[in-house]
Homo-oligomer: A and B are copies of this chain.
Amino acid sequence: MFHRFVCPLFFFLLLPFALHAEAFVLKEEACETKLAELIDGAADYIDVSVYAINNKRLIKALIDAHHRGVKVRVLTDKLQAAGGSSRIWDLIAAGIPLRVHSHKRIMHTKVAIYDGVSVSSGSLNWTEPAVRKNEEVCDIFVNDPGYAQQHQKLFNQRWEANSQEKSDEWVREKTKERENKRQKVK
């Protein structure tokens, strides 16, 4: 009875757990490489909610993904986005939907979700100094839809809490300011 029925039943019940996530704890350069790989490997969508973004390699990878039809969305912190080292303008110029976090609280996460199955999190902002100058850690989960869904739920809440309209308005204002500054420099 056990061998013929119960054991095969348990076998198939347990099998999905054996196919559980690959999980990686990565340092700075290795993290940047893995993030670029995850972006390059995405087929459907990438949802990014990262405090500060100016890492050239990751920005290029996001724009390339967008150009090959992957639905990219970026949520980032307003104060960081306005900073001199911010490169969100490249993402906006490429036509990637971007929202700035427009509430009082700082939007401090460093998360991306890839195709609803993989996730990156940890301490590393998507910046050059984070990769080249800091001691950081990334938590990377590949093929873990359950974990990805937990992050997706939070991303969706935060994405919805910041309207596209307000963000676009902010972007238009800042674009004008940047143009004015540029003309003064000339």
CB within 8 Å of B: which residues of A? Answer: 3-4, 7-8, 10-11, 14-15, 17-18, 20, 23-25, 27, 51, 101, 103-111, 121-124, 129-130, 133-137, 139, 146-147, 150-151, 153-154, 158
B121-A106 in contact (CB<8A): no
* Chain B residues with CB under 8 A of A154: 25, 27, 137
A157–B27 CA distance with the chains assembled, in angstroms: 11
What's the dominant secondary structure at chain A's contact region? mixed
Closest to A5 in B: B3
A23-B146, A106-B134, A122-B122 are known contacts; what are 20 more A-B pairs with Cβ within 8 Å? A3-B7, A7-B11, A11-B11, A14-B18, A17-B17, A17-B18, A25-B147, A25-B153, A27-B154, A101-B135, A105-B134, A107-B134, A108-B134, A109-B136, A109-B137, A110-B123, A121-B121, A121-B123, A121-B139, A122-B123
